[in-house]
Chains A and B, each alone.
Chain A
């Protein structure tokens, strides 16, 4: 079993630092907030899953830095944001693998959906000083595809509910998230 951590930011600006020595899943839900996250993977053979899900209205940024300090450490970082208004949203995502850390896996998936004409930016950075690393990053900024809405609506789902299904699938992107623990976030999502 992995250790699970839930974090909810609500209109605030915060710093987080984790020194991790066991398999860990962090669910970080953010409502209109900025945050700085630093993670140190300090033990060999451990896995980190980081789910950052964010609803944004004003100008905000999210910085996350994952340091692979030991051999065979594995990180999967999923950053999903919905930028609701026309403001700035910036993701700065860093994965750092030291020269001395062998056989690491370091993956990032960054996506921001602009509801209107938000000014969203994703800066993915992989600083890898070791040849034996498996690493991938994906980035998408845009709207929900019309094709998705068409398919959902073609089964009689209204536009509003189709949007809600897509939002939910995007922002609550793991089956293991306990909805009871993120009540506030779910309520906020239903307002979009």
Chain B
């Protein structure tokens, strides 16, 4: 279970408070969605969970399976099964996609990943997310289109097999067909990994038609203002967030 308890966070070396006593529990196998106006702290929440260097937790806690991860660095958190699909994946020149994924895999497993098996498996995964094989040898996200970057995040997810998945606007920048492909991959992943849970950050209910959420939360002013089911997402689409701003 991923538990966020009364979490407040600010930008490091500033007095910009972004998260304000936010609480959220995500149990094994559950799908949660967070919606909310621009600039209210959705991406910040995802980065704070991941231990991003720009933010400092001022109070509250984050627990994975009852254990606080607050003092762990980003890579230790990832090794515990957290995975963040970023809203805007980073471009790194000179580091190839395949070397990146293989290094990540090697650090997780006890024995070194066999190169041949690795290539075979990753090529299969690339086909499933409809990414061209040549992207494996290119620099990380360099020159990738918006949609290709998102698919590359899903490719990493499939390889690294996390237990707690956060998707920050995975649907933005994807065309209709790509959105279907991405959602199909996530659904298959969830089917194969029953204990995995997902937090979907989105502005549009459409992705939630494909990946059915158990809960929909409204995040505004750094905290969860309301929780409901799919009907809440539909209501927001129709009425906007007017009712949540004081």
- The interface of chain A, by Cβ under 8 A from chain B, is 146-148, 150-159, 161-162, 165-166, 168-170, 173, 175
Contact = CB atoms under 8 A, between A and B. Distances in A.
B216 interface: no
B108 A156 contact: yes
Interface stretch (B14-22, B73-81, B118-126, B219-227): B73-81
B113 interface: no
A175 B50 CA distance: 32
Contacts of A155: 75, 78, 83, 100-101, 104, 156, 160
Nearest to A146: B53
Nearest to B50: A154
A159 B160 CA distance: 18
A173 B139 CA distance: 10
A152 B94 contact: no
Interface in B87-109: 89-90, 92-96, 99-101, 103-104, 107-108
B84 interface: yes
Contact of B74 (A150, A170, A173, A175): A150
A158 B103 CA distance: 10
Contact of A173 (B52, B75, B78, B94): B94
Contacts of B101: 155
A152, A155, A173 pick with most chain B CB within 10 angstroms = A155
Interface in B36-87: 50, 52-53, 73-75, 78-79, 83-84, 86
Contacts of A168: 94-95
Interface in B126-163: 137, 139-140, 156, 160
B78 A165 contact: no
A24 B246 CA distance: 68
Q: Which 6 A-B pairs have the closest CB atoms?
A: A169-B94, A156-B78, A151-B90, A153-B75, A153-B74, A169-B95
Interface of B: 50, 52-53, 73-75, 78-79, 83-84, 86, 89-90, 92-96, 99-101, 103-104, 107-108, 137, 139-140, 156, 160
Nearest to A80: B94
6 contacts: A153-B73, A154-B83, A156-B75, A157-B107, A159-B73, A165-B99
Given A148-B90, A153-B75, A156-B107, 18 more contacts: A150-B53, A150-B74, A151-B92, A152-B100, A153-B73, A154-B74, A155-B156, A156-B78, A156-B104, A156-B108, A157-B103, A165-B103, A166-B95, A168-B94, A168-B95, A169-B93, A169-B95, A175-B137
B90 A147 contact: yes
A156, A157, A161 pick with most chain B CB within 10 angstroms = A156
B104 A151 contact: no
A146, A157, A165, A170 pick with most chain B CB within 10 angstroms = A157
Contacts of A146: 53
A166 to B, nearest CB: 7
Contacts of A166: 92, 94-95
A154 B49 CA distance: 11
Contacts of B78: 153-156
A159 B73 CA distance: 9
Contacts of A151: 86, 89-90, 92, 140
Nearest to A164: B103
Contacts of A159: 73, 75
A162 B107 CA distance: 11
Given A147-B90, A169-B92, A169-B95, A156 B79 contact: yes
A146 B104 CA distance: 18
Contacts of B75: 153-159, 162
Contacts of B103: 157, 161, 165
B84 A165 contact: no
Nearest to B74: A153
A152 to B, nearest CB: 7
A165 B86 CA distance: 20
